[in-house]
Structure 1
Amino acid sequence: SRRKPPADWDAYDYYLQGRALFHRYELDKSEPLFVRCVELDATFAQGHAFLAQALVGRFWYDNDPRTLQNAWDSARAALALDRSDGVCHQSMGLVLTHMRQHSDAGMHFERARSLNPLDVNIAGDYASWLNYGGRAETALNVLESALLRDPLPPTWFWEVKGSSLFLLGKYSEAVGSYQKAGDHFFTHAFLAATYAHLGEME
């Protein structure tokens, strides 16, 4: 789909900065930039969409239901502004996955993929949804296809691939993916679990 242009170019600059940080998995740094983006331009759908995704990232740390509710509010605002934007559907799919509304999340991911079939970021979150649903083999196929289109995906992409490989019992390969996934408590936990399966835990 064609993204609607922002009404405020300062807002768009905050959006671009936030998106760059988000794709490097620097979630805490990206969130305030997306907040500023939508403060300056409340009509910019992708600003709300990426704020929703950043809030999901915060939820991984604070486990606060209010954070997830705020993420849902942002994803809903994004869709209200532009239902033809795949990233808006991706964001709602991500939020609903964490709300354990698996079927509804899947509908949004399928819509996102139909609107943006070549988008590597959508592919990554769709694969994460597949992992949650116990379909790691399909998830890995989605990720491998995405890597053919873009061999330098966002940092967080490797955590999703690592999880697919882990679920499939491909522990050595999972280690390689997790090691590319940034410095977060959950990637350290995933690595520890993977090493344990390999018998390398000291």
Structure 2
Amino acid sequence: MERVWTDTHVTDDSLVQCISEIRKALGPEAGALLRTVPKQGYRLDVSLARARRPSLLTTVRIAVLAILAVLALSALLLTPRQQTASEAQSIAVLPFENLSGIAGQAYYSNGLAEELIVNLSRIADLRVVSRAASFSVAQSASDPRQVARELGVSYLVDGSVRREGQTLRITAALIDGANGENIWADSYAGAEADVFDFQERVLSELVRVLSVRLSKQERERLGIRGTRDVDAFDNYLRGKELAGFLTASQNERAEEAFSEAIRRDPDYAAAHAQLSIVLSMRAEYGWTSDVANSLARAAQHAERAVALSPDLPFAHFALGRLLSRSFIADLAGASAEFERAIELDPNYTDAYAFYAIVQVANGRAEEGLNTIAEALARNPVPPYWYYMPLGLANFYLGDYDAAEAALTELLERNPNLQNALRILIATYGHMGRLDDAEWLVMEYEALGVPATITEIMQVINIEHPPYRKAVIDGLRLAGIPE
């Protein structure tokens, strides 16, 4: 970008958008023809297109011309600081600084920043970086220009929160990522009960300053959703922090916080959705002896969330996530919920990633590859688990090099993820890398699980017969006993 467009204001979004459109144009062939080369870029395999059919080669040539034309036009038209309202702008919200002097209050300041991310994400003309990405980069870089470069955004929102008793002092500022200068700032000092009004004011001002175009539906949905009860809101933010620790004890405390939020406001849809995920994870991680009861309650709260707020993306995500789990496995229902979540929030990268898992499990690896590619394009600092659907999709499509790269990246971040180890063993089998497979089998068995084809296939969450056969064949080639 720096070498081609030194003096113009063009973000990586232009390239990402073109790649996304080319994938759609190529359809099912996209996974094989247009490949992501880790840490380098994209590779278009024209020779493969020629070998497959002449008409496809024509499509590829048109796609190449299209991307060159669009990128060239972007370079000519996008002069510094002269963006039109119709252009998708990119923004990241950084964690708000906790000025309360009490470390235990960080959940509240971070929670306010995350709520702003949620609301901005629902605007189609904004590309909003996920909380995980923006918070992670902010911890490692202090210069706003560096943070903006690493996140690939044009703007940053920064702020601070001082909470003392029933009073609040909140500041928020919009920063130009190119030069680090403030474009807009606002502050509030007063009663904690007025925090909702301040949130709405900040959101409206950001939309105004960025000249963001809103559809009628977005205007109707825009704003602070959920509760007006201060204590319910506080318990909701506290519960989200506790749930993120992923331990049995914190899971129980998170349930208590969300339950209290619901007791204070029974119609708090987001709290119902969060409680559903907490209960589902309790069953998934083996933190309860009564799995059936946990799942039944999770379903009850997820369905309640959707009923209370049909236009809340997170409600549909919570229900879709539950339906996608192996102990329920309603893939059609999960797909519908994830599609609705993405429709309501085009920036909901976790919904893209979960939807990709469902597509692969349902025998639609090509679609899954396109979906996870969209998630990775929208999230510059993806969590480790995004590489699971990426690895699975490439494995089932027979691209073992790409599968190995994704699964290796995943295991570098989480070495004990059993399903990734199983698929990577099968990948090495197909690649003929028996020494690597043997080493990985020892790591797998060191986790206390047997490495036999029968045992492995009992826990593989894939029912599509050709995909199951691909795993079995790879395991046999790797030398795994029956």
TM-score bucket (shorter structure): 0.7 to 0.9
Q: Evaluate the alpha carbon distance shift between residue 179 and residue 167 of structure 1 in structure 2; reply closer, same or farther with a 3 A threshold.
A: farther
Q: Evaluate the alpha carbon distance shift between residue 117 and residue 64 of structure 1 in structure 2; reply closer, same or farther with a 3 A threshold.
A: same
Match of 1:138 among 345, 367, 373: 367
Point out where structure 1 has 5 or more consecutive residues left out of the alignment: none
Match of 1:91 among 302, 314, 318: 318
* 1:110 shift after superposition: 1.8
Point out where structure 2 has 5 or more consecutive residues left out of the alignment: 1-220, 429-433, 440-482
* Aligned 8 A contact 1:14 1:37 in 2: yes
Q: Evaluate the alpha carbon distance shift between residue 129 and residue 195 of structure 1 in structure 2; reply closer, same or farther with a 3 A threshold.
A: closer
* Partner SS for 2:371: helix
**Share of identical aligned residues, percent?**
26
* Aligned 8 A contact 1:89 1:109 in 2: yes
Match of 1:6 among 227, 230, 244: 227
Residue number in structure 2 paired with 1:68: 295
Q: Is residue 151 of structure 1 aligned with residue 383 of structure 2?
A: no
Q: Is residue 49 of structure 1 aligned with residue 49 of structure 2?
A: no
Return the alpha-carbon distance in structure 2 between the equivalents of residues 195 and 102 of structure 1: 24
- Mapping for residues 72-83 of structure 1, pairs under 5 Å: 72-83=299-310
Return the alpha-carbon distance in structure 2 between the equivalents of residues 34 and 130 of structure 1: 30
Indicate the structure with greater helix content.
1
Indicate the structure with greater strand content.
2
Moved runs in structure 1, 4+ residues, more than 4 A? Answer: none
* Partner SS for 1:93: helix
Equivalent AA in structure 2 for residue 16 of structure 1: L
Residue number in structure 1 paired with 2:422: 193
Equivalent AA in structure 2 for residue 12 of structure 1: F
* Aligned 8 A contact 1:34 1:48 in 2: no
Residue number in structure 2 paired with 1:101: 330
Q: How many residues align?
A: 197
Q: Evaluate the alpha carbon distance shift between residue 158 and residue 172 of structure 1 in structure 2; reply closer, same or farther with a 3 A threshold.
A: closer
Return the alpha-carbon distance in structure 1 between the equivalents of residues 234 and 322 of structure 2: 25
Residue number in structure 2 paired with 1:179: 412
Residue number in structure 1 paired with 2:246: 26
* 1:83 shift after superposition: 1.0
Return the alpha-carbon distance in structure 1 between the equivalents of residues 241 and 360 of structure 2: 25
Bigger Rg, structure 1 or 2: 2
* Partner SS for 1:100: coil
Report the TM-score when normalising by structure 1.
0.79
Equivalent AA in structure 2 for residue 106 of structure 1: S
* Aligned 8 A contact 1:84 1:115 in 2: yes
Return the alpha-carbon distance in structure 2 between the equivalents of residues 78 and 193 of structure 1: 36
Report the TM-score when normalising by structure 2.
0.37
Greater Cα offset, 62-71 or 126-135:
62-71
* Partner SS for 1:179: helix
* 1:45 shift after superposition: 0.9
Return the alpha-carbon distance in structure 1 between the equivalents of residues 387 and 232 of structure 2: 29
* 1:86 shift after superposition: 1.4
CA RMSD after TM alignment: 2.8
Q: Which has the higher contact order (CA 8 A, sep 6+)?
A: 1
* 1:25 shift after superposition: 7.2
Return the alpha-carbon distance in structure 2 between the equivalents of residues 27 and 140 of structure 1: 31
